[in-house]
C-alpha cells in the first residue's frame, strides 16, 4: 500500500508533515470543480470537500488545487479535507486586471512541459515568461515545439528557441505520432508529476491522449485558419502505466508571472545579467547611459532588442506587483488589528465584566 502512495508522488517531504496527523488519511487532489474536489488515496478515488472551519480560515486563492497533498477524514464514504500539507512548489500567475491576487495553477510538480505550436503563434517573448516561471519555482523545464508535421522549417524554430534557453531540453514533436510516448516517458518515471502548459490549441490535450493511449481529453480539429481550438476547461490529473503522473491544463492566454522578487529574472535572462556586469555604471538601466554593454550587444547583433524590452516589461510588472502585494498586506494587517481591538474593547467593557461576574 505504501508503494502505491509513493507512485502518487508521495515522498519523505510530505511524510514528515503528515506525521503530525496520525488519525487522518493522506490524499492527493486530482481535480477541482465548483462543488468540491476529486481525490485519490491508497484506497482509491473519492469525492471530497473542505472542512467548513478550514474553508472560512483561508482566502479563496489559498484553497487546494490539483497536485496538492491534503489530509482527510471520512464520513460515510465522503472525504473531508482537514489539513493542506505545505507545498514543495507551486505554479502561479497573477490574475488578469489591476488586482494583485495570486492564482495557483498547480502544486507539487516535478516537470513543466511547455507546449508551443509551430503552426501559429510562435512567440519568443511568451516562452521567456514561462522560463521565468520555471526559474522562480525551481521546476525542471522542457519545451515541446509541436505540430512539426504541419511545417517545413522546424529546425529554424529549434535554433531560435535554443538562443532563449541554451540549457533547457527542447524537443520537436508531433502530438499524433506514437513515438512521442517513448520520448516523453524518459522524463516521466514512477511518482514524477509533469504539468502541461501552453496557449489554447497548441496540442496539450492531444499529447495527453497519445500518452494515455485513449481519448480521455476532448480535442477539436484544426480550424480553417489552421489554428487549434481549445476545449480543455479544467485541470485534470492522470496516471500513466509506468507510474508517471501528468496534469493537463486549460490554455493560458496571458501569463502574468507571479514572482517573490526579481532574482528569477536574473536566471531566465542570464545573458542580460552577465552583460550588465560590464556596464560602466552599476545601476545602469540600459537606456541612455554611456558605455552600456547591453546596448552595445544589441548594436552588434549579440542580443535581440525584443528580449531586452521583454526583460524591462517583466521587471516593471514584478516591481509593481510587489508594491501592490505590500499595500494589500498592510491593509489586511490593519483590518485584523482593528477587529482585534474591537474584540478587546468588548471583552473589557463594563457590560462584559458584569455578565462574567453574574455567570460566576
199 is in an annotated binding site: yes
Task: Decide if 237 contacts 30 (C-beta within 8 A).
Answer: yes
222 is in an annotated binding site: no
30 is in an annotated binding site: no
150 is in an annotated binding site: no
Distance CA 128, CA 124 (A): 6
202 is in an annotated binding site: yes
262 is in an annotated binding site: no
201 is in an annotated binding site: yes
> Cβ–Cβ contacts within 10 Å for residue 324, how many?
15
Task: Decide if 139 contacts 88 (C-beta within 8 A).
Answer: no
Whose grid coordinates read 494515455?
212
Dihedral sign of CA atoms 223, 227, 232, 233 in order: negative
Which residues is 173 bridged to in the sheet?
A: 146
**What is the chain's length?**
360
Give, to the nearest 10 degrees, the angle between helix 154-164 and helix 124-137. Answer: 40
Distance CA 49, CA 36 (A): 5
3-state secondary structure of 78: strand
Which residues make up each annotated binding site?
146-149, 198-206, 279, 284, 286, 292
Which residues make up each annotated binding site for Zn(2+)?
279, 284, 286, 292
Which residues make up each annotated binding site for GTP?
146-149, 198-206
Amino acid at each position: 500500500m505504501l508503494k502505491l502512495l509513493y507512485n502518487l508522488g508521495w515522498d519523505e517531504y510530505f511524510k514528515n508533515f503528515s506525521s503530525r496527523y496520525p488519525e487522518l488519511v493522506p490524499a492527493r487532489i486530482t481535480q477541482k470543480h465548483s462543488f468540491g474536489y476529486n481525490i485519490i488515496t491508497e484506497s482509491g478515488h473519492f469525492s471530497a470537500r473542505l472542512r467548513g472551519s478550514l474553508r472560512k480560515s483561508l482566502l479563496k486563492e489559498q484553497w487546494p488545487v490539483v497536485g496538492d497533498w491534503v489530509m482527510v477524514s471520512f464520513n460515510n464514504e465522503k472525504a473531508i479535507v482537514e489539513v493542506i500539507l505545505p507545498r514543495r512548489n507551486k505554479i502561479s500567475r497573477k490574475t488578469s486586471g489591476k488586482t494583485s491576487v495570486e492564482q495557483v495553477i498547480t502544486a507539487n510538480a516535478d516537470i513543466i512541459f511547455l507546449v508551443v505550436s509551430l503552426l501559429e503563434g510562435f512567440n519568443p517573448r511568451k516562452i521567456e515568461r514561462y522560463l521565468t516561471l520555471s526559474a522562480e519555482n525551481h521546476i525542471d523545464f522542457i519545451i515541446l515545439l509541436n505540430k512539426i508535421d504541419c511545417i517545413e522549417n522546424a529546425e529554424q524554430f529549434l535554433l531560435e528557441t535554443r538562443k532563449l534557453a541554451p540549457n533547457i531540453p527542447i524537443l520537436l514533436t508531433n502530438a499524433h505520432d506514437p513515438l512521442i510516448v517513448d520520448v516523453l516517458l524518459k522524463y516521466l518515471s514512477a511518482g514524477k508529476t509533469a504539468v502541461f502548459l501552453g496557449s489554447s490549441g497548441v496540442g496539450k490535450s492531444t499529447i495527453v491522449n497519445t500518452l494515455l493511449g485513449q481519448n480521455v481529453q476532448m480535442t477539436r480539429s484544426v480550424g480553417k485558419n489552421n489554428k487549434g481550438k481549445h476545449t480543455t476547461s479544467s485541470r485534470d490529473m492522470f496516471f500513466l502505466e509506468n507510474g508517471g503522473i501528468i496534469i493537463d491544463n486549460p490554455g493560458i492566454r496571458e501569463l502574468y508571472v507571479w514572482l517573490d522578487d526579481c532574482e528569477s529574472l536574473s536566471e531566465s535572462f542570464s545573458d542580460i545579467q552577465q552583460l550588465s556586469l560590464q556596464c560602466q555604471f552599476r545601476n545602469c538601466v540600459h537606456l541612455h547611459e554611456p558605455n552600456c554593454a547591453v546596448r552595445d550587444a544589441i548594436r552588434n547583433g549579440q542580443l535581440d532588442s525584443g528580449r531586452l524590452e521583454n526583460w524591462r516589461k517583466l521587471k516593471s510588472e514584478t516591481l509593481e506587483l510587489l508594491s501592490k502585494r505590500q499595500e494589500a498586506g498592510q491593509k489586511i494587517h490593519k483590518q485584523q488589528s482593528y477587529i482585534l481591538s474591537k474584540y478587546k474593547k468588548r471583552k473589557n467593557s463594563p457590560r462584559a465584566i458584569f455578565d462574567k461576574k453574574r455567570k460566576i
